[in-house]
Structure 1
């Protein structure tokens, strides 16, 4: 296994960008019978209410042209049962949206998922495998391979290639991880640099008056920044605002 990982790492790391690495990964998974490839990454997968956050990075290969817009703008990502399962799973899994396809999805799918289920059935991409990649500091990436056929035979073949696909996923993540900081930002909450600075000092236990003195700003100005940050974070007070800023990793240096 180590030799195979080293081989995959060498092939994938030849790409200087995440897009080039995805091209190489798509070639590799095609050899396993997968027709399309989806990679997503978020430094924080869930909001403070436990709902999926639209990923900061979404890379697609051989998917329909409207996929990016549907998943990232129209809310399909939040109702994608594969993504809902991936956030709480540590093991790779095969899945199918065909009614008779007995996979882990069958116990999850209900009427809320109808737009995603219908779309993938129409696109003939209703069978595949997904590898959840739980990362340091709470980040989450997934690599999903999709097949253009969804018969029981195709599902069995996807399962048979799950181990090989998982190796590719982990090798891709290893080479992609250093590049993610350049492409990814937490888009769930956007605070101004001054709002972040005031929250960082608040996290250190300073009062608004002490922060104003530290920053050589008026108390009214600092209070305005803190209040604005509270509103953006949906917080009731400064303590809750700091807690939510920590959750979203907004105070990371």
Structure 2
């Protein structure tokens, strides 16, 4: 547990992601890892199941092109992210050889570009920590070893629980400083009035009743509801409400 001794004193609530990653890299470096990645998304998947590019994605000592590739489409092809949605425990993955059970369960042809990149960049092993929120937010903290010597896979598995603690403490510190925009999905953007009208629609109000509640005309309310539906790709208001709830743009009563 030597890598955890000073972590709690060096990470603090509201700390910016960059400086926190510098601390985390130094800490996991004591266990032989030489790169770290962190990402956070308030809604991990779109309504069609596709992974949503995270609102926060930062790293230390990864290849120069990696983050831009992930932000432009590789994130949706990353088996590590698919695996993170299936487990709450830290897991080991490899860019060069045999995969852990959770990785074996998700890997398919769709992941070939990312697996090829990991192999080309000599990402020998990684330990990823999935961090699931009660409301559905997902963050992952990953420690990577590039050009590992033989036997490092065993070492990685042994320290995975400690990396898990590092990831949880890291996320606790940086997420305390996230503002409302960081915590809101950017996959679909509705105006405040569109969210308000859809929220009232979810309560069972008609356009006429919403108009009365908001002191607006029925055509204006209809305009907001239709605009929200188009942005959500919905066929009708019921589907618009369901998709808005999926993206946590409105709240449904329990």
Do they superpose with TM above 0.5? yes
Name the counterpart of 2:18.
19
Moved over 6 A (4+): 3-6
Q: Which has the higher helix share?
A: 1
The reply to whether residue 60 of structure 1 matches residue 59 of structure 2 is yes
Q: Which residue of 1 aligns with 2:29?
A: 30
Distance in structure 2 (CA, Å) of the matches to 1:172 and 1:218: 49
Corresponding position of 2:192: 193
Change in CA separation of 1:6 and 1:234 when aligned onto 2, cut-off 3 Å: farther
Partner Cα separation in structure 1 for residue 70 and residue 63 of structure 2: 12
- The match for 1:226 is 225
Note if contact 1:195-1:226 (Cα within 8 Å) is conserved in structure 2: yes
SS of structure 2 residue aligned to 1:137: coil
Question: 1:157: which partner in 2?
Answer: 155
Which residue of 143, 146, 154 corresponds with 1:145?
143
> Any idea what SS the aligned residue of 2:161 has?
helix
Provide the aligned C-alpha RMSD in A: 2.3
Q: Give the TM-score taking structure 1 as reference length.
A: 0.90
SS in 1 for 2:187: coil
Structure 1 unaligned spans of 5+? none
In the TM superposition, 1:158-173 aligns within 5 A as: 158-173=156-171
| 21-30 vs 101-110, which moves further | 101-110
Partner residue, 1:209? 208
User: Could you tell me how far apart the structure 2 residues matched to 1:81 and 1:24 are?
Assistant: 27
TM-score by length of 2: 0.90
Which sections of structure 2, spanning at least 5 residues, go unmatched? Answer: none
> What is the distance in 2 between the residues matched to 1:96 and 1:151?
13
Match of 1:250 in 2: 249
Task: State the partner residue of 1:103.
Answer: 100
Distance 1:141 1:230 in 2: 29
* C-alpha contact 1:15 1:21 (8 A) present in aligned 2: no
